[in-house]
Amino acid sequence: MGLLENRSLLLKSNKILKIDHKNKFKDLNYKKINLNESIIIPGLINSHIHLELNWVHKKLREYKNFPEWLNQIIDLKKNNLNKNVIKKSIKDAIISSIKSGVTTIGQISSYNGIDIPIINKYGIRCCYFYEIANSNKDNFIKNLKVIERRLIKKNLISIGIFPHSIYSLDTKIWETIISICKKKGYITSTHLSESRDEVQFIKGNDNKFDNLIFQKLISTPNIYRRKSFSPLKYLKYINFLDLNPTLVHMNNLSNEDKDIVKKNNLRIIICPRSNVFLKEKLPDLEFMLNYDLTGLGTDGLSSNHDLNIINEMYFLYKKAKKLKIKNLKEKILYIATLGGAKCLGIDNQVGSIQENKKADLIGFKITQKNPLNSILYDGGKNINLRMIDGKII
């Protein structure tokens, strides 16, 4: 990936037809968009977001760790099922995303398709992950069929499956999901290694899932655990890794886990501000930023201060700066574009500016000597072009 100067893009319908020196196109009799002193980059990809959870943000009380936070989320979700509140969350989350330069989202959907018409209306590209936990395990196959039918002819939305986590699903349900995904070829993703307690949980050690979360459930999930497991080794044991899943968070990995990641070419989405928001540690940024299959997400507003992907990139930049990583700014831009596209399985369509790829583009006014600083430092205020699938939005 590099910066090209004095170039123009020739677009046809929703695709990039040609990239060439700007003089080559100047006499063509097409509609022209002149951005002057600007930099054009591929549209940003927020690879992991829960559009429906904006409303949770203001209702959170103090918590000391991930399980205490999750405990509140479970209670809030039980009490608040007002559809209009959820619809407003979805709309607000899409608007904030687009405003910060996002053209593709990896949406984790847990309200049975309430978000589909809204995503469709705003015309944002979306990998739509249907979320499964023990709470909806009995009817997920039926509901999934309904969702699939509703996504027919929605060209910008593709479907995937998102088992919520290793602690929220019976091992047996994981096995059912794995066999369905193998048969149907769905892309899969899950939250993994997000908290210290999750690591202790899967080993069967003392942890707050057993001591706090499961205490309130009518039936406790039936999960196979072993002292030798890490969250990742458990997924390997049940053959989930055969599906080439995209693993979200991964901020509590052992060195052995990192070897498994590399050996299996596993895709990883990091959400660094969410980890800090939940009082957990950051992922190994040196490992993640030097790995080819890393994407970036904000997670939901339930575990972040805002859904601005550029703020997420800037936060990452500040944290990683001390690590002396080569070409750090370029690497951060990579994970927010092509890296994310790889994580969502759509890198043949988007994620870079290439002939024949979809015209998902963002323009920034150049305000600083290094054009990359114009992107990273302004929180999206200098964006002067937003285009998804060839349409200016």
Residues that bind Zn ion (CB under 5 A): 299
Least separation in angstroms between residue 138's CB and Zn ion is 23
Closest residue to bound Zn ion by CB? 299
Strand 361-365, strand 38-42: pairing: antiparallel
Least separation in angstroms between residue 229's CB and Zn ion is 22
Distance CA 317, CA 328 (A): 7
DSSP classification of residue 282: P
Q: Identify which of residues 44 and 387 has a Cβ nearer to Zn ion in the complex.
A: 44
Least separation in angstroms between residue 248's CB and Zn ion is 6
Question: Which of 113, 141, 160, 137 lies closest to 269, judged by CA?
Answer: 160
Element counts in the chain: helices (H) and strands (E): 16, 14
Distance CA 388, CA 28 (A): 23
Least separation in angstroms between residue 360's CB and Zn ion is 23
Helices 309-320 & 328-335, crossing angle to 10 degrees?
A: 140
Q: Identify which of residues 247 and 350 has a Cβ nearer to Zn ion in the complex.
A: 247
Least separation in angstroms between residue 131's CB and Zn ion is 9
Q: Identify which of residues 282 and 325 has a Cβ nearer to Zn ion in the complex.
A: 282
Tokens for 137?
A: 């395990």
Distance CA 294, CA 273 (A): 16
Q: Identify which of residues 299 and 312 has a Cβ nearer to Zn ion in the complex.
A: 299
- Please check whether residue 11 is in contact with residue 356, taking contact to mean a CB–CB distance below 8 angstroms: no
Strand 187-192, strand 383-388: pairing: unpaired
Distance CA 220, CA 207 (A): 14
Strand 361-365, strand 294-296: pairing: unpaired
Distance CA 71, CA 381 (A): 36
Least separation in angstroms between residue 186's CB and Zn ion is 18
Q: Identify which of residues 280 and 299 has a Cβ nearer to Zn ion in the complex.
A: 299
Least separation in angstroms between residue 300's CB and Zn ion is 6
Contacts (Cβ under 8 Å, ≥6 apart) of 2: none
Residue type, 343: C
Helix (H) or strand (E) holding 375: helix 371-376
Q: Identify which of residues 9 and 301 has a Cβ nearer to Zn ion in the complex.
A: 301
Q: Identify which of residues 299 and 389 has a Cβ nearer to Zn ion in the complex.
A: 299
- Please check whether residue 132 is in contact with residue 170, taking contact to mean a CB–CB distance below 8 angstroms: no
Q: Identify which of residues 91 and 164 has a Cβ nearer to Zn ion in the complex.
A: 164
Least separation in angstroms between residue 204's CB and Zn ion is 25
